[in-house]
Amino acid sequence: MVPIDILSFTRTRPVARTPKEITDAELTVLEALWERPRATVRELAEALYPDGGASQTATVQKLCERLEAKRCVARDKRERPATYRATIDRAALIGRHLRGVADRLCAGSFTPLLTHLVESGEISDADLQRLRERVANLDEGGAPPPREERE
């Protein structure tokens, strides 16, 4: 609640609520959008709630609104009915989450995440092989590719 002491104005509390990532229901909608270039709310609702009615459609509408606020989808109002399309793909969403973890736990650095993954023992030999090639390529390239979107 952050009570504010008028005189001493301390503000030393752990209080910190971070913005909030994408929620489960939102992700479901987003995934449906990833499967098509664009879609109307109705189409999405029919896909997600096979035998849903008007209220389910409204639910999807609301989720789309919230996704738009989070810049995960864009709406084309010129179409009738309006269509939505994803503005972030799975890889970028992964990146967003990864950044969240890094910011929260590693002072923003990706390196500890990388270390953990490599040592997790959950990367297959084939993937390790690919990784090795990729790392090798990056090495000679020198300048890494530019960063993607990011908000």
**Which residue ranges make up the site for a second copy (CB under 8 A)?**
1-4, 8, 10, 12-18, 24-25, 27-29, 31, 47-52, 63, 90-91, 93-95, 97-98, 101, 104-106, 109-125, 127-129, 131-132, 134-136, 138-139, 144-147
Rounded to whole angstroms, the Cα distance separating 98 from 102 reads 6
Closest approach, Cβ 106 to a second copy, in A, equals 7
Among 34, 36, 47, 52, binds DNA (CB under 7 A): 52
Contact assessment for residue 72 and residue 30, using Cβ atoms and an 8 Å cutoff? yes
Closest approach, Cβ 20 to DNA, in A, equals 4
Residue 95's contacts (CB-CB under 8 Å, 6 or more residues apart) are 148, 150
92 closest CA partner among 73, 106, 79, 118: 73
Among 6, 7, 54, 135, binds DNA (CB under 7 A): 54
